[in-house]
Structure 1
Amino acid sequence: MTKVLHVITGLASGGAERQLATLLQHLPEECEVACLTEGGRVGERIRAGGFRVHDLRMPSNRDMASLMHLVKLVRDGGFDLVHTHLYRAHLYGRLAARMAGVRAIVATEHSLGRELIEGKPKDRLGVRGLYRASERMGRVTIAVSQAVADYLRAWRIERVEVIENGIDIREFRFDPNARTLVRKVLGIDTDAFVIGGVGRLDPDKHFEVLIEAACRIDGATALIVGAGPDRARLQRLANQLMPGRVHFTGDVGGGMLEIKDLLSAMDVFASPSPSETFGLAPLEAVACGLPAVYSDSPALDGLPGLGDRVARVPSRPDAFVSALREAADLKPVDRCAPPGALERYGVAEQALHVSELYRSVLAE
């Protein structure tokens, strides 16, 4: 059986990390994971799924000892193929694979956006130059959307295959019991109008737009799921504008509450990030039967059959206020019956395409 090592920068609860955890459950290859930095809740989830996770605990971008540890891991593990995810992992994972004698190298680009790559200005010469240099060591880069493929080609990276992200639609099915439990645990009234958001708390995600919009809607409560460096600033803003009405869950998964449970507790989903490479969180919200207001989500753009259940608006509080109020007035639907159009993003089909790509690369 083909043996694959997935190398990823970290395993906190970001979209790329959760996507890897979901994909692993459906790939037929024997897979292990190497995490360069912190483990996090997604790492716990992957281990619970029966996969081995190697934590390198890399202290800095210039730690050569961790690079050599990764080289040894690749060589001693007898891996046939190395698959990298996220910027730092692309740089170190591709190099380690080549140093260990593995030439079958695949990368997935999750985070190259219109202006940023993982929060860094994407057109800084150092960022772009290192990326392009490491790309030459690999065989192919998977783009999670056509938009990402276009950005890669603008960087003169031509060996690109588009394989869109996938979700297990059943995993995000609305659960009325979870809705009741989450609201009880967090102290949210059963009849409160809950505006939710999910994602890493970084400034480029613009969660302040969600808070500033929610504070203008009578009776609204905000539920923000995720961790990240912008949490303290967002909490100060929440305490100023909506004292007692904004709930921050931090990193979730692997414990009593999962993202699917928190989605069930929401009434509308808000994603104010103006530059998304795919938009996994809004897609999961729609799978949970939520109306979604978003600023950018290639996954939802043009997806048929969603009608007025989704609205794309600029990343401004006034635009979100109007759209969220319209969402509150929508006719209730059966949240247990997600739209059939979501079948396009079934993770089993995604895993099939990835596995076929592995075979093609190994045959070269």
Structure 2
Amino acid sequence: MKVLHVITGLGAGGAEQQLRLLLRHLPVLCDVVTLTNPGSVADGLRADGVHVRNLGMRGNRDLGAVPRLARLIRRGSYDLVHTHLYRACIYGRVAARLAGTTVVATEHSLGRAEIEGRPLTRGTRELYLRTERLGSATVAVSDTVARRLRDWGVPAARIHTVPNGVDAAAFRFDSGLRRSTRALLGLPAAAYVVGGVGRLVPGKRFDVLIRAVAAVPDAWLVLAGDGPEAAPLRALASRLGVTGRVRFLGECGGAGSAPGVPAVLGAVDLFVSASREESFGLAVVEALAAGLPVVHAACPAVEDLPAGRVPGTTRIGSASGTTGATAELAAALRHHVEGGARRLPPPSAVDHYDIRLSSRRLMDVYAQALDTVTVPPTERAHP
């Protein structure tokens, strides 16, 4: 089986990183096309041995991208096209239909009122639904997203839940790595350090996290990620007088000097996800794999599981507005700081979200879409 993955961009982001991890475990030959922005994840994919092309779209109305992509699909003799993220799903489904190729789409970032951090409009929804009919299946990364798709009007029979996955071994706690990472970041050995990971965008509410840390004098903060809110967040930390207790790492695990996310999670004592809404909550699962207690506002990866399945997590979010959310989060931080640093055994939920299981589930979707049997492991294309 030969599969072409089409994604909107390949900068550092959750969907992009998830695609790279998934391709390491899919037992089929996979190529990747990015519509635009062949960033750091494209470099990582190439280092993994994946063939990556940049379609070079000039904007959302570059309709010439459709025939270019259709020609690429035909010439590659792909058995299946798999699209990721909104723009790639719109253009990719049309191009695959023109090329006569089966198409499957993954919905990574559908919120209640936003999609990929942008407000949902009637036109956005209508275009999505019209092109969704051109595909054979739509994959939801969580049961929460599957429900949202059904509420939109996508037929239930076309929706398949394949949760995002993690490689838990990569996040296993290492005390030696913790010491060296803390030294690298200039964190005192005895400091209680809070961690946050993700794109620095408004929906992640890192401003609330910085304000909460400012209200807890014994807490330090490490933020791993980059994005348009980087400068405003630095300015906020300065205004609140906590610059000395906050470390902005930028994009982690790339060509720069910042440590990778596993090292960051090993160095901190508590993980916080203050996002207004999430489609899955991959960083939370990674933090759980690292043995961290977690405070979260929205995380389908936790909330979709039976109560009590994920010990060590605390949900916040009852307060509204920045002031109320900050006070609620600060109270949670004080509770954890007063209890002291502790490492937890990774909960069983981490095994539930193993990337190998996600790969097998996705292969079942492929097989159903193509009406074939699943390809055996002997046909693996990548180690």
TM-score interval for Structure 1 and Structure 2 normalised by the shorter chain: over 0.9
Gaps of 5+ in 1: none
- What is the rounded CA distance, in whole Å, between the counterparts of 1:268 and 1:334 in structure 2? 9
Match of 1:135 among 132, 136, 140: 132
How is 1:91-170 mapped onto 2 (pairs within 5 angstroms)? 91-102=90-101, 104-122=102-120, 124-158=121-155, 159-170=158-169
Q: State the partner residue of 2:231.
A: 232
- TM-score if structure 2 supplies the norm length? 0.89
Q: State the partner residue of 2:218.
A: 219
Q: State the partner residue of 1:299.
A: 301
Q: State the partner residue of 1:246.
A: 246
Contact kept? 1:7, 1:34, Cα under 8 Å: yes
- TM-score if structure 1 supplies the norm length? 0.93
Q: State the partner residue of 1:268.
A: 270
Secondary structure in 1 matching 2:279: coil
Are residues 244 and 56 of structure 1, via their aligned partners in 2, closer, same or farther at CA, if it must alter by over 3 Å? farther
Gaps of 5+ in 2: 320-324, 373-383
CA displacement, residues 162-207 of structure 1 (integer Å, 9 cap, x when unaligned)? 1111111111112223322322222222222211111111111111
Contact kept? 2:129, 2:154, Cα under 8 Å: yes
Q: Which moved more, 1:65-74 or 1:200-209?
A: 65-74
Contact kept? 2:212, 2:326, Cα under 8 Å: yes
1:195 matched to 2:194: yes
Aligned residues: 359
Residue 346 of structure 1: how far off its partner (Å): 1.0
Contact kept? 1:147, 1:277, Cα under 8 Å: yes
Contact kept? 1:292, 1:311, Cα under 8 Å: yes
Contact kept? 2:222, 2:247, Cα under 8 Å: yes
> Identity rate of aligned residues, in percent?
44
Contact kept? 1:37, 1:57, Cα under 8 Å: yes
Residue 67 of structure 1: how far off its partner (Å): 3.2
Q: Aligned AA for 2:285?
A: L
Contact kept? 1:12, 1:251, Cα under 8 Å: no
CA displacement, residues 185-234 of structure 1 (integer Å, 9 cap, x when unaligned)? 22222222211111111111111111000111113221111121222211
- What is the rounded CA distance, in whole Å, between the counterparts of 2:5 and 2:109 in structure 1? 17
Q: Aligned AA for 1:311?
A: T
Residue 333 of structure 1: how far off its partner (Å): 4.3
CA displacement, residues 229-288 of structure 1 (integer Å, 9 cap, x when unaligned)? 222211211121112322222222244521111111111111100211111111111111
Q: Aligned AA for 2:279?
A: T
Q: State the partner residue of 2:366.
A: 358
Contact kept? 1:41, 1:251, Cα under 8 Å: no
- What is the rounded CA distance, in whole Å, between the counterparts of 2:61 and 2:122 in structure 1? 18
- What is the rounded CA distance, in whole Å, between the counterparts of 2:4 and 2:115 in structure 1? 23
Residue 363 of structure 1: how far off its partner (Å): 1.6
Q: Aligned AA for 2:117?
A: G
Q: Aligned AA for 2:201?
A: D
- What is the rounded CA distance, in whole Å, between the counterparts of 1:313 and 1:347 in structure 2? 28
Residue 120 of structure 1: how far off its partner (Å): 1.8
